[in-house]
Amino acid sequence: MVEARRMGKSELFAHFADRFEVKRAAAREFFDELAVLSEKELKRSGEFVLPGMVKLVVQKRKARMGRNPATGEAIKIPAKTVVKARVVKQLKDAVLPHK
């Protein structure tokens, strides 16, 4: 069985640097700015869309009761805010097999 290997950050930056004929440092700056922009937009509006790929959404979770898997004891899980990533339909359709 062939093991799947994920692309690391340096490979990602190298790919974009080669593809758009810029230095790797410039490619890294683009991604750094994308991270800053997504953080600003999530704080401002609660969502950030990377067209054709993913939508990031801030979601508030209510407090709830859970169970400690080691002891089985009931525990209270506090409310918290999380960021969820939703893959857009066109990317899902392109990657996942059709039924």
Under 8 Å CB-to-CB from 79, ≥6 apart: which residues? 60, 61, 62, 63
Statement: the pTM of the whole predicted model exceeds 0.85: no
DSSP string, 38-65: HHHHHHHHSEEEETTTEEEEEEEEPPEE
Asked if 34 and 62 sit in the same domain, the reply is no
Asked if 67 and 33 sit in the same domain, the reply is no
Q: Is residue 94 part of a domain?
A: yes
- Minimal CA–CA distance to 59: which of 78, 85, 35, 34? 85
Per-residue tens of pLDDT for the chain, all 99 residues: 667 789 999 999 999 999 999 999 999 999 999 999 999 999 999 999 999 999 999 999 999 999 999 999 999 999 999 999 999 998 998 888 876
The confidence score (pLDDT) of residue 3 equals: 74
Asked if 61 and 93 sit in the same domain, the reply is yes
Asked if 32 and 64 sit in the same domain, the reply is no
Q: Is residue 79 part of a domain?
A: yes
Asked if 14 and 59 sit in the same domain, the reply is no
- Per the listing, tokens 């209510």 go with 62
Q: Is residue 39 part of a domain?
A: yes
Q: Is residue 25 part of a domain?
A: yes
Structural domain boundaries enclosing 73: 46-99
Asked if 97 and 86 sit in the same domain, the reply is yes
